């Protein structure tokens, strides 16, 4: 009787299944499109539209979605607010267009990711009182002060490709329907009115940013590639055991497969953050940002860029607040801005 009690106590102390569980049983990823973005089922039309009628339809669409930017018009005035270290600004939607090597002045090679900031416009601002009552806001601001939300859209497209319900989101704003939408949590002093454009000038050289995206989808992979297992021997009697994982449990006290066991399965396609990436170059003409390091996702994937939340890499000076606007006197900004540590191609490399 004493032996059975001792064995039960050892099981409770060293085989507590609730403490060692590391993997969720819930499916973490979905490969289908989001349910809130319903694609339009385009039907084939037998009647051919003449070139004159097609030109007339395009003119009507342009007149309907002709936006009035607060930079060029005086209908929308942006309230001038003061920046403070606790301010949370909006982010931008960008496309990862590849990796480029750069060199510092001491000859060290640096790997940089090239991010193209698309035609970003503010679609809507949700005040803190309204956003705190939403489904996501209720969970996010359960035990803290609520903040507002900026809905930003990118990549304008033809309205015929979307449903009427989706196009109605942009009717009040006067913008063409956007392919991409994103939400950014902002403080009240960083709110922006609708139609405000967001460019690469929203960030500055030397700033640390966080990049959010979806990692590369590798599909179903084995344990060697997914978890880095060594695998079995190549020869000496090994038969169909070269890349297998081996045993996944025992038959005694365990007698089952514990949750969190590393096994073959779906690899990649996860939402990830890369934090603290330094901006080393900005091209204002083409809205391109060069960040030091890599970002999640393959080439041509969509990512979100915003100010970092790392406490030691935050702003020490006021950035373009609430965003960057061209000078009022009409002067053009510098086209290509480089970090002081990089070697600018075309400049002399040897000074006497």
Spell out the residues 6+ positions from residue 151 whose beta carbon is closer than 8 angstroms to its own.
122, 123, 124, 125, 126, 181, 182, 183
Spell out the residues 6+ positions from residue 183 whose beta carbon is closer than 8 angstroms to its own.
149, 150, 151, 152
Bridge partners of 125, per DSSP, are: 150
Bigger pLDDT: 131 or 19? 131
Cα 35 to Cα 147: distance, rounded to the nearest angstrom: 26
pLDDT above 90 covers a percentage of the chain that reads 51
Contact 233, 212 (CB under 8 A): no
Contact 179, 221 (CB under 8 A): no
Confidence of residue 52 (pLDDT cuts 50, 70, 90): confident
Among residues 307, 315, 298, the alpha carbon closest in space to that of 210 is found at 307
Give per-residue pLDDT as tens, 90-130: 999 999 999 999 999 888 999 999 999 999 999 999 999 99
What is the predicted pLDDT for the residue at 72?
43
Spell out the residues 6+ positions from residue 335 whose beta carbon is closer than 8 angstroms to its own.
283, 284, 285
If one counts every other C-beta atom within 10 angstroms of the C-beta of residue 310, the result is 11
Give per-residue pLDDT as tens, 152-192: 999 998 888 888 888 888 888 888 889 999 999 999 999 99
Instruction: Flag whether the pTM goes above 0.85.
Output: no
pLDDT above 70 covers a percentage of the chain that reads 82
Confidence of residue 71 (pLDDT cuts 50, 70, 90): very low
Cα 182 to Cα 193: distance, rounded to the nearest angstrom: 16
Among residues 313, 315, 312, 294, the alpha carbon closest in space to that of 303 is found at 294
Q: Which residues of 63-99 are buried (b: 16+ CB within 10 A; e: fewer)?
A: eebebeebeeeeeeeeeeeebeeebbbbbbbbbbeee
Bigger pLDDT: 18 or 4? 4
Contact 278, 208 (CB under 8 A): yes
Q: Measured between alpha carbons, how far is residue 236 from residues 74, 264, 275, 334 in Å?
A: 81, 25, 47, 67
Sorted by where each starts, the structural domains of the chain and their CATH numbers stand as 88-220+265-338 (2.40.30.10)
Among residues 150, 138, 164, 137, the alpha carbon closest in space to that of 41 is found at 164
Q: Measured between alpha carbons, how far is residue 245 from residues 101, 262, 289 in Å?
A: 38, 9, 43
In this structure, the dihedral spanned by the alpha carbons of residues 258, 263, 265 and 270, taken in order and rounded to 10 degrees, is 70
Bigger pLDDT: 28 or 281? 281
Contact 209, 227 (CB under 8 A): no
Exposure on the CB side of residue 109, measured as CA atoms within 13 A: 4
Long-range contacts of 323-332 (CB under 8 A, 24+ apart): 323/89, 323/90, 323/192, 323/196, 323/198, 323/202, 324/199, 324/201, 324/202, 325/71, 326/71
Task: Calculate mean pLDDT across residues 200-218.
Answer: 95
Among residues 68, 323, 310, the alpha carbon closest in space to that of 173 is found at 68
Instruction: Annotate 230-241 with three-state secondary structure.
Output: CCCCCCCCCCCC
Give me the residue label for tokens 């060697």: 224
Task: Report residue 195 as tokens.
Answer: 């139609």
What is the predicted pLDDT for the residue at 3?
47
Confidence of residue 19 (pLDDT cuts 50, 70, 90): very low
């Amino acid at each position: 009787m004493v032996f059975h009690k001792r064995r039960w106590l050892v099981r409770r102390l060293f085989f507590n299944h609730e403490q060692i569980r590391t993997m969720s049983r819930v499916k973490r990823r979905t490969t289908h499109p989001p349910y809130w973005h319903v694609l339009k089922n385009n039907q084939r039309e037998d009647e051919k539209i003449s070139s004159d009628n097609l030109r007339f339809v395009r003119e009507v669409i342009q007149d309907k979605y002709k936006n009035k930017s607060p930079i060029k018009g005086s209908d929308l005035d942006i309230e001038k607010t003061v920046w403070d270290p606790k301010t949370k600004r909006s982010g931008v939607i960008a496309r990862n267009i590849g990796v480029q090597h750069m060199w510092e002045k001491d000859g060290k090679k640096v790997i940089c990711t090239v991010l193209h900031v698309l035609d970003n416009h503010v679609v809507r601002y949700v005040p803190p009182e309204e956003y705190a009552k939403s489904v996501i806001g209720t969970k996010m601001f359960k035990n803290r002060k609520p903040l507002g939300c900026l809905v930003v859209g990118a990549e304008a497209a033809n309205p015929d490709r979307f449903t009427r319900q989706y196009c109605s989101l942009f009717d009040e704003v006067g913008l063409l329907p956007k392919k991409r939408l994103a939400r950014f949590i902002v403080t009240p002093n960083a709110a922006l009115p609708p139609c405000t454009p967001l460019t690469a000038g929203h960030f500055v050289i030397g700033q640390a940013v966080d990049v959010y995206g979806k990692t590369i989808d590798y599909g179903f992979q084995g344990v060697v590639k997914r978890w880095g297992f060594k695998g079995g021997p190549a020869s000496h009697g090994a038969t169909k055991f070269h890349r297998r994982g081996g045993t996944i449990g025992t038959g005694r006290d365990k007698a089952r497969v514990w949750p969190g066991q590393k096994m073959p399965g779906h690899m990649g396609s996860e939402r990830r953050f890369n934090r603290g990436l330094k901006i080393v170059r900005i091209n204002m003409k083409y809205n391109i940002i060069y960040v030091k390091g890599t970002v999640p996702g393959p080439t041509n994937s969509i990512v979100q860029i915003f100010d970092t939340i790392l406490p030691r890499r935050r702003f020490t000076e006021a950035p373009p607040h609430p965003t960057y606007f061209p000078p009022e006197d009409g002067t053009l900004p510098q086209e290509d801005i480089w970090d002081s540590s990089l070697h600018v191609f075309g400049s002399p490399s040897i000074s006497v």
